[in-house]
Amino acid sequence: MRDPRAHRNKPHLNYPERIIIATRQSRLALWQAEHVRDRLRALYPRCRVELLALSTRGDEILDTSLAKIGGKGLFVKELELAMAEGRADLAVHSAKDVPMELPPGFALGAIMEREDPCDAFVSGKFDALDALPAGSVVGTSSLRREAQLRSRYPQLKVTSLRGNLDTRLAKLDRGEHDAIILAAAGLKRLGLGARIRSQLTPEQSLPAAGQGALAIEYRADRSDIAACLAPLDHRDTSLAVRAERAVSRALGGSCQLPLAAYAIANGASLRLRGLVADPGGTRIVRAELSGASDAPEALGTRLAGELRAQGADSILAALQ
């Protein structure tokens, strides 16, 4: 990883006097934006770095699944509008919430070091999925998790669970669910790691593309912002997430498609796993490949081809 002090001490760096970070208003989104703000302040102590908190449609519509109301883009469009209008210079996202195709004129400037990418089992009464009695109600906000749960645990009742992290935990605590499945990264970032009763292995629930990583978006014409963000990019995380996003992009990944992709960088190689399922979990195709880490998108595209060869196309066609 780059030494941020070396970058900070370069007096000729043409960074702006002020940087505005657009963010959603949820507690987790604010934590993520504040984390980036603090990193930038440490790198550029003479620069004023501030937050612009915005409400997005994805945060406002909580009674309908994302798959039915427009998907991941609902969490980023207002932030992109703020950048387009010059009210903000960059936006901080959970990488798994960033659509696979960015609008013209926008780019990802840094993908930061990954937190735990796995899914977490949270319950007030049970220690693990295997301990749940038949008929137990398990809540999740993700079709990807739902499909894998239905396939592996057909005896459980899996229901949709919307809302920010605190809202979902409150529903569990009110007894509306016997357990819920959340991203471990969000819980750990907010100091709620103690709520995790057990972690799901990638074999139990393969993570979403980009899960656990932060992605910073900016206007592609802002070379000054690109230069500022460069020290925040974490090589191994960036390679892994680029491979994962390539899988999803090649398969038309969205919230309407139960799709998972998870890569691990190991020196000069990448190990990449992926799956496509129908929402009911009755059909799941899986594939795994390893390849050179310097060509992550090519590896992702190859894995998508492997999934198609195993029957992903027929699953995708049924979801149209």
Q: What is the pLDDT of residues 186-229, one digit of tens each?
A: 999 999 999 999 999 999 999 999 999 999 999 999 999 999 99
pLDDT of 33: 98
Same domain, 104 and 16: yes
**Does pLDDT of 1 surpass 50?**
no
Region 286-305: what's the mean pLDDT?
97
Do 108 and 93 have their domain in common? yes
Q: Is there a domain that residue 204 lies in?
A: no
Residues 86 and 130 in one domain: no
Q: Do 273 and 132 fall within a single domain?
A: no
Q: What is the pTM of this model?
A: 0.89
Same domain, 158 and 291: no
Q: Active-site positions?
A: 97
Domain annotation covers residue 205:
no
User: Is 207 part of any domain?
Assistant: no
Mean of per-residue pLDDT scores for the chain: 90
Q: Are 171 and 139 in contact (CB under 8 A)?
A: yes
In this prediction, residue 183 has a pLDDT band, given cuts at 50, 70 and 90, of very high
What average pLDDT does range 35-42 have in this prediction? 98
For the domain that residue 281 is a member of, what is the CATH number? 3.30.160.40
Q: How far is C-alpha 237 from the chain's CA centre?
A: 12
Over its C-alpha atoms, the chain yields an Rg (Å, rounded) of 20
CATH number at residue 175: 3.40.190.10
17, part of any domain: yes
Domain count for the chain: 3
* Domain assignment of residue 239, yes or no: no
46 is a domain residue = yes
Asked if residue 22 belongs to a domain, the reply is yes
Is there a domain that residue 18 lies in? Answer: yes
The residue range of the domain holding 192 is: 119-199
